[in-house]
Chains A and B, each alone.
Chain A
Amino acid sequence: MRAYADLHLSPSLDDTANARSMASLLTQLQTKLVGLVVPPERSFSSLPIAEVFRNSGIDVATRLDVKPKSREELLKTLRRFRSKYEIISVECSTTHVSRVAVRDRRVDIIHFPKRQSGNLFRGNLAKSCRAALEFNLSELISDAGLETRLQLFRREIETAAETSTTVVGSSNASNPFGLRSPRDIAAVLYMIGLPLDLALRGVSDIPLEIVKKNRLRLAEPQIDEGVRILRRSTRNE
């Protein structure tokens, strides 16, 4: 059976009642892993809501949402926080930021905000993209103007499909009303234009792989990309 993941949840970090109702719903929706947005000033050890999710049998990955204004700010943030978070997502609000974010291998997920016009996922940006492109359902259901945003998403998804960029679907929910089943998010991605198998991978295999790869990297920071430890020598050399 397929394991589903929602890499973008942003509930209040102190509201355990809200987290409890979200966790119970996520369990019913067969979600195995969630990415919890944790601001840099909060320590991971003092997160009561993470325990709520874990007690419901849901794995929790820490996620940092970076919203840099410039290229320098992005690079500085990545240097500082890459070794602390399991997922790093970058909001590409300007072209300078997007150019670096799509190429830098420390960036896991990129996201193009739909409220700003001008900066789009297309052309060379898409061709050189190493990160996964995120589709947040909250952007579709939050405000009016569904048609315009559907059109923007459709264009983005088409570009991603043409350039074989990986697409990740998430809910960006802060309460149970914003939550959706990952399988339903895949259905929306399919409706927008992504092939069904890619849409399903975008809410299951791809997010799980991102977290798995980063956990390995955090556990063994000295190991380079593509190298993994099979066994260690028993002798002390």
Chain B
Amino acid sequence: MYRSIDDMLGKLGSADTKARMIGFDETTGKAVFRCKTGSAEKLRAVLALMTEMYGNPAAAMVMRSSGTIKALRVRIRRNSS
């Protein structure tokens, strides 16, 4: 994932986005990322262009985005129930 950001945005762009994975649920394959507010579109685009992970075919999609992690978790829970 971080390699994809580096490939797409370069080292400088990658540092500028400040993207960081702060949670991953292996059973559902869902992850929570944080980044700078102005870099959300860049991160979305990078995730959309990801096609593999550790040599295996993979697809990443943004389910929800939010200004705070708390609101994000509430929204995801509300939509999955």
A residues 134-185 touching B (CB-CB < 8 Å): 137, 140-141, 146, 176-181, 183-185
Q: B61 touching A29 by the CB < 8 A rule?
A: yes
Q: A141 touching B44 by the CB < 8 A rule?
A: no
Q: Which chain A residue lies CB-closest to B42?
A: A191
Residue interface mask B21-57, A partner, CB < 8 A = 1: 0000000000000000000011011011101000001
A144 to chain B, nearest CB (A): 11
Q: Is A78's CB within 8 Å of the partner chain B?
A: no
Q: B41 touching A180 by the CB < 8 A rule?
A: no
Q: A191 touching B61 by the CB < 8 A rule?
A: no
Q: Is A210's CB within 8 Å of the partner chain B?
A: no
- Given known A-B contacts A28-B63, A177-B57, A177-B59, A183 and B49 have beta carbons under 8 A apart: no
Q: Is A187's CB within 8 Å of the partner chain B?
A: yes
Q: Is B15's CB within 8 Å of the partner chain A?
A: no
Q: Is B69's CB within 8 Å of the partner chain A?
A: no
Q: A137 touching B61 by the CB < 8 A rule?
A: no
Residue interface mask A59-98, B partner, CB < 8 A = 1: 0000000000000000000000000000000000000000
* Chain A residues, Cβ within 8 Å of B47: 184
Q: Is B62's CB within 8 Å of the partner chain A?
A: yes
Q: A190 touching B59 by the CB < 8 A rule?
A: no
9 more A-B residue pairs beyond the given contacts A180-B61, A184-B44, with a C-beta to C-beta distance below 8 A: A140-B49, A141-B51, A177-B57, A181-B48, A184-B47, A184-B48, A188-B44, A190-B45, A191-B42
Q: Is B74's CB within 8 Å of the partner chain A?
A: no
Binding site for B on A (CB under 8 A): 25, 28-29, 137, 140-141, 146, 176-181, 183-185, 187-188, 190-191, 196
Cα distance A25–B48 when bound, in Å?
A: 14
Q: B41 touching A196 by the CB < 8 A rule?
A: yes
Q: Which of B41, B49, B62 is within 8 Å of A181, CB to CB?
A: B62
* Chain B residues, Cβ within 8 Å of A28: 63, 79
Q: Is B12's CB within 8 Å of the partner chain A?
A: no
* Chain A residues, Cβ within 8 Å of B58: 177
- Given known A-B contacts A28-B63, A29-B63, A180 and B48 have beta carbons under 8 A apart: yes
Q: Which of B45, B51, B62, B79 is within 8 Å of A191, CB to CB?
A: B45
Q: Which chain B residue lies CB-closest to A146?
A: B49
Q: Which chain A residue lies CB-closest to B7?
A: A146
Q: B41 touching A190 by the CB < 8 A rule?
A: yes
Cα distance A185–B44 when bound, in Å?
A: 9
Query: What are 19 A-B interface contacts by the 8 Å CB criterion?
Result: A176-B59, A177-B59, A178-B59, A179-B59, A180-B59, A181-B48, A183-B44, A183-B62, A184-B48, A185-B48, A187-B44, A187-B45, A188-B44, A188-B48, A190-B41, A190-B45, A191-B41, A191-B45, A196-B41
Q: Which of B49, B57, B59, B79 is within 8 Å of A188, CB to CB?
A: B49
Cα distance A177–B60 when bound, in Å?
A: 9
Cα distance A179–B59 when bound, in Å?
A: 8
B22 to chain A, nearest CB (A): 20
Q: Which chain B residue lies CB-closest to A199?
A: B41
